[in-house]
Structure formats: structure tokens, C-alpha cells
């Protein structure tokens, strides 16, 4: 059986922005949020299965993993830039 793991263009753009601008993003207790635009919050409380955009379940499993990897890279980039 062939499984398709497609990532939408919007999720790719969001992930690229997260990785390329690590100082614009902060990990809080429950959210990974944008400092310059506080309306953008990614729910990260319970790991990859619960990655949500402002609490809405709109991401596929592949997109959840893609965003989780972008968040990890962003945090690593911010730590390396210090």
C-alpha cells in the first residue's frame, strides 16, 4: 500500500519562517508562539500528536511532524546564535 505524506504549501512557508527567524519565536508552557505577531500560536503541550494551530486540529500527521521538526531546528538555531 502506498501512503502519501503531503505537506501543504502553507505549512512549508510557516516552517521555513520558524527556522529562518528563530528569535521571533518562543516556546512557552503550552504554545510555541510568535513574538512579533502574538496571534500565531502553535499548541505543543503533548508532543507531535497534538500539534495544533491556535487549538484547531487542521494539520495532517505528516504536517504535525514537519512543524515539530521546524520547531526543534528553530530552538537549536536560536541557541547556536547566542
pLDDT per position as a tens digit, 10-47: 999 999 999 999 999 988 888 889 999 888 888 887 65
- 3 confidence band (pLDDT: 50, 70, 90): low
CA–CA gap between residue 43 and residue 3 (Å, rounded): 26
What residue has cell string 500500500?
1
The CA-based dihedral angle spanning residues 12, 16, 19, 22, taken in that order and rounded to the nearest 10 degrees: -120
Q: How far apart are CA 70 and CA 15, in angstroms?
A: 5
Take residue 18 and report the three cell numbers written for it.
520558524
Q: Which residue has the higher pLDDT, 54 or 80?
A: 80
Record the pTM. 0.82
Q: Rounded to the nearest 5 degrees, what angle is found at the Cα of 9, between the Cα atoms of 61 and 76?
A: 70
Amino acid at each position: 500500500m502506498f501512503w502519501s505524506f503531503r505537506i501543504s504549501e502553507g505549512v512549508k512557508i510557516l516552517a521555513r519562517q520558524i527556522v529562518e527567524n528563530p528569535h521571533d519565536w518562543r516556546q512557552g508552557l503550552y504554545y510555541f508562539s510568535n513574538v512579533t505577531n502574538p496571534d500565531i500560536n502553535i499548541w505543543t503541550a503533548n508532543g507531535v500528536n497534538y500539534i495544533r494551530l491556535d487549538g484547531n486540529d487542521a494539520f495532517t500527521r505528516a504536517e504535525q511532524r514537519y512543524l515539530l521538526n521546524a520547531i526543534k531546528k528553530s530552538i537549536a538555531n536560536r541557541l547556536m546564535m547566542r
